[in-house]
Amino acid sequence: MPARNQKLINNEFYHITLRRVGESLLFKDINDHYRGIFSIYEFNTLTPVTIRERRNARLRIKQEIKKGTRDQDLCVDTRDQLVEILLFCLMPNHIHLLLKQLKEGGISKYINKIGAGYPAYFKKKYDIDSRGHFFQDRFNAVHIKTDEQLIMAFIYIHTNPISLIEPGWKEKKIKNPEKTIRFLEKDYRWSSFWDYIGTKNFSSITERKLFINLIGGEQKCKELIEDWIKSKNQRPGL
């Protein structure tokens, strides 16, 4: 599952889209979403994942969900990582990731691990006997080069779920900004957004220091998305 004919550079940022073939669902229920979150975390390591490490990772994620406490240290993952995960969002049939490549070929290796591991879980759970492609052959990788592009990626990835409650908003406009803001801040937990605005969610997955500093803190991250949503009540488009 290579990127589209491009060399990915260490210490550079890339917006990755990993999409299931056709319009088939990638996540059918809440447990699939949790497995997707677990896969994003689990496969970000240079070494093979042992059964014990899998068990510890699952336990760690469950404890985070139950505790609801805040991390003081924004960088919590001490494994030998392939990539640095800055942003993520799970959508019904695709995944958005903003990654910084740490190892040579790290992004491709990481995506290939997800591309093998999650489908194996999904096919076993739903008793799918298929040897065809689960994800599209090639993942999409957009090179993010400037601070302005980083901020736009932050907005784009975290506002992707708006289409779940306001289909077609890009061609029209956001009809109910207050409802949309509430949906992103209180209801839709399957992204990195909550951890950026001070609501502990899946904080072990992401390295947030860059965006926290770039945007100006958790409150500014919250205001950035809120102001952007309100502006789309006035005009359509991203």
pTM of the model: 0.86
Q: Which two tokens stand for residue 215?
A: 């945007």
Share of the chain above pLDDT 70, in %: 83
Residue given tokens 């506002």 in the structure block: 159
Residue 193: how many other CB atoms lie within 10 Å = 25
Residue-level pLDDT at 75: 42
Q: 53 falls in which pLDDT band (50, 70, 90)?
A: low
Residue 129 has pLDDT above 90, yes or no: no
Tell me: pLDDT of 41 over 60.
Answer: yes
Q: Provide mean pLDDT across the span 153-165.
A: 98
User: How many whole angstroms separate alpha carbon 61 and alpha carbon 46?
Assistant: 20
| Mean pLDDT to the nearest integer, 167-176 | 89
Lookup: tokens for 211: 């965006």
Q: How far apart are CA 173 and CA 177, in angstroms?
A: 10
66-123 pLDDT, tens digit per residue, is: 555 444 444 445 679 999 999 999 999 999 999 999 999 999 999 999 999 999 999 9
Of 10-19, 40-49, 61-70, 191-200, least confident by mean pLDDT is 61-70
Looking at residue 70, what is its pLDDT? 47
| Residue 55 pLDDT > 70 | no
- The CA distances from residue 85 to 13, 95, 101, 202, 203, in Å, are 10, 13, 9, 12, 11
Tell me the average pLDDT across 41-47: 91
- State the pLDDT confidence band at 130, using cuts at 50, 70 and 90: confident
Task: Name the pLDDT band for 137 (thresholds 50, 70, 90).
Answer: confident
